[in-house]
Amino acid sequence: MKLKNWTLAALLFAAIPGISQARDTTHFLPFDQVVQEAINAKRLDGSVKFHLAGTKPAGGVNVVKSGVTTSQKTNAFNKSDEEACSWALQSALIRLQNAAKQAGANAVVNIVSNYKNVVYSDAQKYECHAGAIMAGVALKADLANVK
């Protein structure tokens, strides 16, 4: 009986490191698709346009405030990584939309991912980190008026 208990205890202790290791999977996902989802669901009202770095808005750009950041996390439990990342990005976009409106801007331009202060710039994708419990998106951008 003692051998059985010791074996069970050894197996449990062997499993603990695997359980305690947090997953942090990096994803690079389509940005415009999530923006459109948020507009369709009325989470974004469409009054503020979003432009990743590397994409030029049509018309002149007058930056009102530069270097605005947001870092949003969401519950990833029982969601696919893509679904959790979409929620995190939508939360970040809502924050940026509100910041733009407060600053009197009609666009958020030069958007880059800024996870743990490491910039990732792509004209079509954003960076998201997903784990078993949380997913997160960090963005850095400029608030602007586009004519």
37-86 confidence digits (pLDDT tens): 999 999 999 999 999 999 989 989 999 999 999 999 999 999 999 999 99
Query: What is the identity of the amino acid at 97?
Result: Q
Q: Mean pLDDT, to the nearest integer, of 120-125?
A: 98
Class of domain 23-146: alpha beta
pLDDT at 19: 44
Averaged pLDDT of the chain: 91
**Cα–Cα distance for residue pair 128/38, rounded to 1 Å:** 17
Residue 22: what pLDDT? 81
Residue 82 in tokens: 């893509």
Q: What angle do CA 116, 133, 119 make, to 5 degrees?
A: 15
Q: Provide the residue ranges of all domains of the chain, joining segments of one domain with +.
A: 23-146
Pairing of strands 25-30, 134-146: unpaired
Q: How confident is the model at residue 18 (pLDDT cuts 50, 70, 90)?
A: very low
CB 144 within 8 A of CB 120: no
Query: What is the spatial distance between Cα 144 and Cα 140, in angstroms, rounded to a whole number?
Result: 13
User: What pLDDT, on a 0 to 100 scale, did the predictor assign at position 79?
Assistant: 95
Q: Report how far Cα 71 is from the mean position of its chain's Cα atoms.
A: 7
The average pLDDT across 12-30 equals: 70
Phi, psi angles (nearest 5°) of residue 146: -110, 125
Q: Across residues 123-137, what is the average pLDDT?
A: 97
Query: Rounded to two decimals, what is the model's pTM?
Result: 0.84
Percent pLDDT > 70 in the chain is 86
Please write the tens of the pLDDT for every residue from 82-107.
999 999 999 999 999 999 999 999 99
